[in-house]
Amino acid sequence: SQTIHQWPATLVQPVGSPLSLECTVEGTSNPNLYWYRQAAGRGLQLLFYSVGIGQISSEVPQNLSASRPQDRQFILSSKKLLLSDSGFYLCAWMRTGLNEQFFGPGTRLTVL
Amino acid sequence: ILNVEQSPQSLHVQEGDSTNFTCSFPSSNFYALHWYRWETAKSPEALFVMTLNGDEKKKGRISATLNTKEGYSYLYIKGSQPEDSATYLCAFQRSGSSNTGKLIFGQGTTLQVKP
């Protein structure tokens, strides 16, 4: 069976500090991978998606970047966090053609 | 900009009540409409993926309908139970996105069922 891991679960960071959130998927190969953010009082916003190693598509201009160094690893980064980066970050994967996304447990990021 | 709107934003019902909420989405370039349930402290879980106009899907006490021509979907819960309390998200998938799987989510409807 497939599982998806995210860490850390919670994170409190000062403004201007770097960020690295990691997501890994087990039990499948060549999945599509996604990073979403839910800001306070808002819906899920797609930040990045990847259809393969090294392939990253950015959906909204922002202070964040993503990388996919391995088939089942997806990393969300920032060089300098802003207050507006606070939110709940979800990683998801999808098997092409299945049309259903499976979500990880999420990371609650608070930037102070 | 593609807008996916859900209403109401929140809903409080008594146990045993039936309820429904709405998702509206663009009526052009439709590929699929997804419903997810997101319980507190858990990950969102898929309820339905609907692709054909007039589709009706059912899972237990929860069902959904789809009208792609007018751009709306209804989610119904019959005889609500406290364990139905969650945020219900719909997501629009545009034609041409079958490979990318890109979804555009609404803001969700948060349902609280009181015992």
Instruction: Give me the pLDDT at residue B69, please.
Output: 96
Between positions 55 and 74 of A, the ones with CB within 8 A of B are 57, 59
| Contact residues on chain A for B101, CB-CB shorter than 8 A | 32, 34, 49, 94, 96, 99, 101
List the single residue in A with minimal CA-CA distance to B91: A44
In angstroms, what separates the C-alpha of B39 from chain A's closest C-alpha?
A: 11
Per-residue pLDDT band for B85 (boundaries 50, 70, 90) equals very high
| Contact residues on chain B for A97, CB-CB shorter than 8 A | 98
Provide the mean pLDDT of chain B. 94
| Contact residues on chain A for B48, CB-CB shorter than 8 A | none
Determine the residue type at A41.
Answer: G
Q: Do B100 and A97 touch (CB under 8 A)?
A: no
The pLDDT tens digits for A12-66 are 999 999 999 999 999 988 999 999 999 777 789 999 999 999 999 998 878 899 9
Report the range of poorest mean pLDDT among A39-43, B63-67, B75-79.
A39-43
Question: In sequence order, what are the beta bridge partners of A20?
Answer: A77
The pLDDT tens digits for B86-102 are 999 999 999 888 788 89
In this model, does residue A96 exceed pLDDT 90? no
d(CA B68, CA B54): 8
In angstroms, what separates the C-alpha of A66 from chain B's closest C-alpha?
A: 16
Instruction: Give me the pLDDT at residue A46, please.
Output: 93
Instruction: Give me the pLDDT at residue A47, please.
Output: 95
List the single residue in B with minimal CA-CA distance to A56: B100
Please check whether residue A20 is in contact with residue A35, taking contact to mean a CB–CB distance below 8 angstroms.
no
Instruction: Give me the pLDDT at residue B86, please.
Output: 96
In angstroms, what separates the C-alpha of B4 from chain A's closest C-alpha?
A: 10
Q: Do A43 and B106 touch (CB under 8 A)?
A: yes
Instruction: Give me the pLDDT at residue B1, please.
Output: 59
Phi, psi (deg, nearest 5) at residue B29: 55, 40
Q: Do A99 and B105 touch (CB under 8 A)?
A: no
- Only one residue has tokens 């609404």, namely B106
Handedness of CA B103, A40, A57, B27 (dihedral sign): positive
The CA-atom distances, in angstroms, between B74 and each of A26, A41, B58, B83 are 34, 22, 12, 20
Please check whether residue A10 is in contact with residue A88, taking contact to mean a CB–CB distance below 8 angstroms.
no
Render B43-105 in DSSP notation, one character per residue: --EEEEEE-STT-EEEETTEEEEEETTTTEEEEEESS--GGG-EEEEEEEEETT-TTT---EE
| Alpha helix positions (H), A45-108 | none
